[in-house]
Chain A
C-alpha cells in the first residue's frame, strides 16, 4: 500500500471500518505518523459524540456481573519508564496481590510446604518470588515453543494462582526502537497486552489473567508497546486444556 493511500484510511480507521489486513497496515503506519495519530484522536472523539446519542438502559443484571468481574482483577499500572531492577519491581508489584489472594498462609509445593507469611514490614524472611511460586504450584502447566531462530519460549502457568511466567532462552535482542510485547489470548476478546520484555530479561511474569487465557503470543512492537499487536507473532502458544 503506497504512502499516499495509507493516510486516506484514517477516517475509516477511526470508525473501525477497515478489514483486518488494512487495520494492521494502518496501525503499523500510525506508529510512525504523528499527524495521523492526532487526526485519529480527533475523528474518534467526533465519532464518539455520534455514538453517545444512542443511549439505552442496560439489563439489570449487567452491573453485578461487571462488578464481580473486576473484583479479582487489578488495574494495570500506568506505562512508565522501567525501574532499574526489573525483577525487584515485579516482586514489589505482585506480592501484595498474591498475599491477598492466598488467604491461607500455606502454599503446597509437591510434597513439601512453603510458608508464606502474611504481609509484614519485616522482610527479613525472604518470600518466594512470583516466578518461584508459579513453578512450585501444584497445578503448574508448562508450554514450550521453539521459535524460528532457535530461541525457546516457555510459559509456566498456574491457574490457581492466576499467574504465568515466560522464560525466554536464546532470544535475539529486539531491533532498535522496538520491544518484545507479550500477549494473552482470551476467547472472544483476542490478544490482551500482558507486558513487555525488557532488554536482557530472561524471565517475565505476565500481567493480566492467564488462568482464563487460551493462548500466549509475543510480537515485536514499537518502543513502549502497543494496545493491540501490529505485527505477526514471533511466538504463539496455545494453552491446551490440561
Chain B
C-alpha cells in the first residue's frame, strides 16, 4: 500500500530539523512516558489544536475541554501513531476535529445550528507564539489551494469541516440534491490534496 505524507510544509524549527521530525521525536519520547517531551509537544501544537477546536465548537470553554481531552488521548495513544499514514500534525488535528465535531453534535447547541454561518475563507492567526509564522505560511498555502476549488466545493468543505455539519445537512443548506454534497466534499478535498502536494512517499 502506498504511504501518504504531506510535502513538508512546516517552517524549520530552531534546531534546523523540519517540524515533522521534531514532533515525531517528541511523540516517541512521550510514548516512553517522557512528560517533559510531551510538554514540549503541547507547546509546539496547542495553538493549532485550540484554534481548530474553537473554530468548530465556537464556545471557548468547550473548546478548552475538547483540547484537554485530546491531549490526554494523544498521550495515551502516543505509541500508536503510524508515520506511514500521515504527518504528526495531521494525526493530531484529525483527532481534534473528530472530538470537536462530536462535542458540537452532542451539545445540541441550537444557536449553532441556525443558517447564519460565516464564510471564513481567509483564516487569521490570532497569536504571537512560534506557531504564528508557520500559521500564516499555512494560511497562505490554504488560501492559495482553496482557489483550485469551485465555489460549491469550497462552501461544502467549509460547512462540513469548520461547521461540523453532516453532508446531508450541507446539501440542505446549499440547496443541493441529497447525496450531492458528499461528492462535492470529496472532490474539494481531492483538489486540496493535490494542490497542497500530499503525495506518496
Interface residues of A (CB under 8 A from B): 8-12, 14-19, 22, 34, 37-38, 41-59, 62-63, 65-67, 69-71, 73-79, 188-190, 192, 208
B131 in complex: contacting residue of A34, A47, A55, CB < 8 Å: A55
A59 CA / B164 CA spacing, docked (Å): 23
**Residues A57 and B126 in contact, CB atoms below 8 Å apart:** yes
**Cα–Cα distance between A18 and B186 once the two chains are bound (Å):** 13
Nearest first, the 9 A-B pairs at minimum CB distance are: A11-B186, A56-B51, A58-B50, A46-B193, A57-B127, A48-B90, A55-B51, A17-B160, A48-B93
The minimal Cβ–Cβ distance linking B49 to chain A, given in whole angstroms, is 7
A/B pair count, beta carbons within 8 Å: 231
Within 8 Å by CB of B185, from A12, A42, A65, A208, lies: A12
Cβ-defined contact, B77 with A76, below 8 A: yes
Residue among A49, A56, A65, A208 with max Cβ neighbours from chain B (10 Å)? A56
The 8 A CB mask of B52-89 against A (1 = contact, 0 = none) is 10110000100011011101110111111000011101
A62 touches B64 (CB 8 A): yes
Is the Cβ of B102 less than 8 Å from the Cβ of A66? Answer: no
User: Is the CB–CB distance between A19 and B166 below 8 Å?
Assistant: yes
Inter-chain contacts of B106 with A (CB < 8 A) = 188
Whether A46 lies near B196 (C-beta < 8 A) is: yes
**A56 CB, min distance to chain B CBs, angstroms:** 4
Contact with A along B175-201 (1 / 0, CB 8 A): 000010111011111101100101000
Interface pair A50/B192, CB less than 8 Å apart: yes
A197 and B75 CA atoms in complex are apart in Å by 23
Q: In the complex, what residues of A have CB within 8 A of residue B39's CB?
A: 63, 67
A8 touches B68 (CB 8 A): no
Contacts of B79 in A (CB 8 A): 75-78
For the complex with contacts A38-B4, A47-B97, A70-B71, 5 further pairs of A-B residues with Cβ separation under 8 Å are A19-B166, A43-B186, A45-B6, A52-B93, A192-B73
**Which chain A residues lie closer than 8 Å to B49 at the CB level?**
58
CA distance in complex: A176, B186 (Å): 34
Q: Among the interface residues A14, A75, A78, which one has the most CB atoms of the partner chain B within 10 A? A: A75
Q: Are B132 and A55 in contact (CB under 8 A)?
A: yes
A164 to B171 CA separation, bound complex (whole angstroms): 45
Bound CA span A58–B61, Å: 10
Is the beta-carbon distance between B69 and A189 smaller than 8 angstroms?
Answer: yes
Q: Given A12-B186, A49-B141, A55-B48, decide whether A17 and B64 contact each other with a Cβ distance below 8 A.
A: no
Q: Chain B residues with Cβ under 8 A from A65's Cβ?
A: 68
Residue contact B64 to A47, C-beta cutoff 8 Å = no
Interface positions, chain B 128-143, Cβ under 8 Å from A, are 128-129, 131-132, 135, 138-139, 141-142
CA–CA, A155 and B168, complex, Å: 40
**Nearest chain-A residue to B120 (Cβ)?**
A54
Complex Cα–Cα for A8 and B189 (A):
13
- Evaluate whether A57 and B129 lie within 8 angstroms (CB atoms) in the complex, with A42-B4, A45-B4, A46-B193 already known: yes
- A71 to B79 alpha-carbon distance, docked (Å): 16
Tell whether, in the assembled complex, residue A45 and residue B193 are in contact, meaning their CB atoms are under 8 Å apart: yes
Instruction: Return the chain A residue nearest B131 by Cβ.
Output: A55
